[in-house]
Amino acid sequence: MAMAAATAGVEVLGDDLLREVLLRLPSPAALVRATLAGRSFLRAARDAGFLRRFRARHHTSPPRLLGFLFVVPGTTPPVLLSAASASGSPPAGDFSLSFLPGGGWACAEWELMDCRDGLLLLLRNHGAAMNLAVADPLRRAYYPFDVPTADIPVGYGLAAAKSASFRVVCIARGRDSTTLRAMVLSSDEPYYWKEVDAITCEEEEEEACVAYAARPMKAKPSLYWKLDDGTRMAAFDAAPGKMKLSILDLPPFPLTLAFDVIDTEDDNDDGLRVLAMRDDFCLETWKLSSSSTAAAAVVDEEEEEEEETPWTLEDTSVRFYRALESMLGERKLSHRHRHRHRRRRRRRYELEIVGVVDGFFFFRQSGVLLSIDLKTMELTRLSEQDCSPAAIYPYTRAWPPSFLNPTD
């Protein structure tokens, strides 16, 4: 009776005040224990913005990055490499995905499409049929469902999830090739695809509206796919109540530049940021004006040659060319003008961005996994062996295992 009365008193505070109280708890373990007091505590603590503030305030709390998932094309099962910054032993789980139907990863034609909050989005192509599944290696669980059939899927992604729930986003092109649609499947509802938004492309731009089959980029609740014209990207705001699809111009940098979006810690800053690395290994941070609603750059009718852009170059780092040259030794660095006629060799040495997580920029160069601390600009080598054959995915979890299973 006393517990019920206390819980009713907490309800009067509201989520915002309750989060301010929870923010001042001394440790992650104390936060977990507090969430067991009632649903209002759990609801307040699961908020993504609150968790970012809590991690920033408690510097000793476990990192969100648990490791890197290496996926080699073929039947070789994925392998998890524990993050160097993660304390303790690697998270216990079945990362070889032997629990998948059909004999596991090694016996079925599975392809990893996305990885987010400890969940993996998988696509299986067996003959004329295709199906999707969301797998949880830590729980050894999988959730199968069908691919959309009305349109032609051109991009998949996992939206922000809570606990065991998930939302899958599919960007599809209409059969008429001029319409781009956003469809969402949620585990909190019956497994069916729901169209939430659509945009019509101009006839001369219809080919540019087909997103690459590459993994999506993520910043807060939104997902982004680079379009094949190299100058724009599809953006989907997956925040509850929004579910908005749009086309955004990219910053005015070269088409071949490697880039990723940045998830900022400041919840009041809704301006999108893009982090790009130039050929001389210099990092650039571009910010999109939060008040900009245009999907493309505006051209002044009186000055057609001069284009305006909603992007602003916010920061430029030092060049890492010499540091990389010294660290990688005899390995060659990527240059667009080298190996022009040796495509296979050039692809091996090309720069590839792995992701931006917890203030670190992860990338692969010359087959080596590296990181740059975006605060100190410290360059670190994370792998000793050549990992060029594998696709690398940062393996993160919104609630690290030590949050879910406190030891004290």
Beta strands in 137-280, from DSSP E residues, in sequence order: 141-146, 152-159, 167-173, 179-186, 194-200, 217-219, 222-226, 232-237, 244-249, 258-262, 273-277
Question: Could you tell me which residues are beta bridge partners of residue 143?
Answer: 134
| Residues 6 or more apart whose Cβ sits within 8 Å of residue 333 | 281, 321, 324, 325, 349, 365, 366
**Structural domain containing residue 36:** 2-57
Classify residue 343: in a domain, yes or no: no
Nearest to 355 by CA among 96, 68, 154, 121: 68
Count the domains in the chain. 2
Domain boundary among 57, 77, 100: 57
Summary count for the chain: helices (H), strands (E): 7, 23
Do 71 and 29 belong together in one domain? no
Distance CA 262, CA 224 (A): 11
Distance CA 305, CA 299 (A): 8
Do 52 and 69 belong together in one domain? no
Count CA within 13 A, CB hemisphere, residue 162: 14
Helix, coil or strand: residue 137:
coil
Classify residue 106: in a domain, yes or no: yes
Count CA within 13 A, CB hemisphere, residue 279: 9
Low-confidence stretches of the chain (pLDDT < 50) are 1-3, 60-63, 85-88, 293-306, 335-348, 400-408
Do 197 and 129 belong together in one domain? yes
Classify residue 363: in a domain, yes or no: no
193 neighbors 184 (Cβ within 8 angstroms): yes
DSSP symbols for 296-324: S--B-SS-TT-B--SEEEEEEEEE-HHHH
pLDDT at site 148: 85
Distance CA 103, CA 52 (A): 39
Do 168 and 271 belong together in one domain? yes
pLDDT at site 14: 80
Instruction: State the DSSP code for 159.
Output: E
Classify residue 111: in a domain, yes or no: yes
> Token pair 């996992």 is at which residue?
158
The 110-116 sheet, strands edge to edge: 110-116, 119-126, 129-136, 141-146
Domain boundary among 16, 35, 57: 57
Distance CA 107, CA 52 (A): 39
Helix, coil or strand: residue 8:
helix
Report CA-CA distances (Å) from 11 to 33, 38, 44. 18, 10, 11
Classify residue 269: in a domain, yes or no: yes
Distance CA 119, CA 295 (A): 31
Each residue of 43-92: pLDDT tens digit? 888 887 787 788 767 654 444 788 899 998 877 889 888 875 444 456 67
What would you report as the CA-atom Rg of the chain, rounded to the nearest whole angstrom? 22
Query: Left, alpha or beta for 149 (phi > 0: left; psi -120 to 50: alpha)?
Result: alpha
Classify residue 347: in a domain, yes or no: no
Distance CA 338, CA 280 (A): 13
Do 77 and 197 belong together in one domain? yes
Each residue of 117-143: pLDDT tens digit? 889 999 987 766 788 999 999 889 999
Do 71 and 206 belong together in one domain? yes
pLDDT at site 300: 36
Q: Which two tokens stand for residue 89?
A: 């032993």
Do 103 and 196 belong together in one domain? yes
Report CA-CA distances (Å) from 24 to 30, 34, 56, 356, 399. 10, 12, 12, 28, 18
pLDDT above 70 coverage of the chain, percent? 74
Distance CA 228, CA 278 (A): 20
Do 177 and 94 belong together in one domain? yes
Domain boundary among 12, 41, 57: 57
Classify residue 216: in a domain, yes or no: yes
Distance CA 327, CA 321 (A): 10
Classify residue 265: in a domain, yes or no: yes
Distance CA 154, CA 140 (A): 28
pLDDT at site 69: 92
Do 137 and 211 belong together in one domain? yes
pLDDT at site 274: 95
Nearest to 175 by CA among 198, 146, 204: 198
pLDDT at site 90: 61
Residues in the chain: 408
Query: Left, alpha or beta for 275 (phi > 0: left; psi -120 to 50: alpha)?
Result: beta
Do 43 and 85 belong together in one domain? no
354 alpha-carbon distance from chain centroid:
10
Do 121 and 47 belong together in one domain? no
Do 32 and 69 belong together in one domain? no
pLDDT at site 268: 58
